[in-house]
Amino acid sequence: MTRSTRHQPPPRARRPSAPPERLELYGLHTVEAALRNPERTKHALRVTRNARQRLAEAIAETPDLPIEEVSPRDLDRLLGGDAVHQGCCLSCTPLPARDLDDVASGSTRLVLLDQVSDPHNVGAILRSCAAFAVDAVVTTARHAPAETAVLAKAASGALEHVPIVRVGNLAGAIIALTDQGVSIIGLDSDADADLEAGIGAPPYALVLGAEGKGLRQRTRSLCTRLARLDMPGAIRSLNVSNACALALYAARRGEPGGA
């Protein structure tokens, strides 16, 4: 018996998953930052007695928030044994979506991510961006992590300070930013120019590609210029979150009047 060889339609492109309607954020830094963020809609806080004492000032800023004292085991059951919750869990709503136009006007420093998909890396990048006063992180709607508890924990509170803008097409976002006078600088280990020596004055956007693949060809072609991190050692590539931290430090030093 032979199998049918009828033409099968091509598989549909996979759509990005919709963001969750509610998040369970955990970890002391993550929960404290979310409690203090007026843009974050908070629903309920589950907290151990010890963690409640450590979060007392932030809790006082949201006096109407329902609070339930629980045991660490209760949180383990709720979040799973792998979650490092540090005795607290905040039930809340994801942050409102931000549009590119909301952050492009008046922004001086941006970070663009070209299909960086690991939530731990994106969280660590957000943390570095908060430390170096980056105005926003721009990612694609697809091939990028949604706002999740894992990403928020990796960001250690930075998710509340650095807006994430998700765009349908990164190339279109680069063109729009270029039209507004933003220099687009792609990070490439093989570039001729050193980042610190050629960053120039803001406004600028640093573009980082996914580990292994780096920047896509279309992205590279739209950059104002490419630049490398000057590393004298045997290994010239870094984890993307580490590369982002070093690039932001080098960029700050390379700005006119930078330290």
How would residue 259 be classed by pLDDT, with cut points 50, 70 and 90?
low
Percent above pLDDT 90 for the chain? 72
Report the C-alpha gap between 73 and 156 in whole angstroms: 22
Nearest to 125 by CA among 171, 156, 100, 148: 156
Write down the pLDDT at residue 20: 59
pLDDT tens, residue by residue, 76-116: 999 998 999 999 999 999 999 889 988 888 889 999 999 99
Question: Identity (one letter) of the amino acid at 202?
Answer: P
Render pLDDT for 30-66 as a digit per residue (tens, 0 to 9).
Answer: 999 999 999 999 999 999 999 999 999 999 999 999 9
- For the chain, domains (ranges, CATH) are 23-92 (3.30.1330.30), 100-254 (3.40.1280.10)
- Which pLDDT belongs to residue 19? 53
DSSP one-letter code for 229: -
Predicted confidence at residue 62, as pLDDT, reads: 92
Please write the tens of the pLDDT for every residue from 149-191.
999 999 999 999 999 999 999 999 999 999 999 999 999 988 9
The overall average pLDDT reported for the chain is 89
pLDDT in tens, 178-236: 999 999 999 998 898 899 887 889 999 999 998 778 899 999 999 999 999 988 787 77
Cβ–Cβ under 8 Å, residues 148 and 117: no
Taking CA atoms, 189 is separated from 99, 107, 126, 136, 198, in Å, by: 31, 26, 22, 24, 15
For residues 113 and 138, the answer to whether their CB atoms sit within 8 Å is: yes
- Separation of alpha carbons 212 and 209, rounded Å: 9
pTM: 0.88
Q: Which of 247, 136, 252, 250 is nearest to 202 (CA)?
A: 252
